[in-house]
Amino acid sequence: MMTGDEYEKAIEMLGLTQVAAARFLGVDDTTSRRWIADKHPIPDSTAMLLRVMIRYRLTPKSVTALMKKELV
């Protein structure tokens, strides 16, 4: 489980604004704001992605590039 404060800190660490984070994650800007305000739960998959990106120093650009590659 990720709190709104943790989400806000994570996107900050990744150099994303709330709007940029929403676009990267494929959600509405309002959803990103609601996550920060703890008005909606943050999906576990979103929390996991952000934590992995921070841990392995992956940028949104590099993750997007990975998504475009074919899986073997």
In this structure, CATH architecture of domain 4-68: Orthogonal Bundle (1.10)
Q: How far apart are CA 33 and CA 46, in angstroms?
A: 14
According to the model, what pLDDT value does residue 35 have?
Answer: 98
Residue 63 in contact with residue 53, Cβ under 8 Å? yes
pLDDT tens-digit map of 26-71: 999 999 999 999 999 999 999 999 999 999 999 999 999 988 886 6
Q: With a cut of 80, say whether residue 72 has pLDDT above it.
A: no
pLDDT band at 7 (very low <50, low <70, confident <90, very high): very high
Q: Would you list the domain boundaries of the chain?
A: 4-68
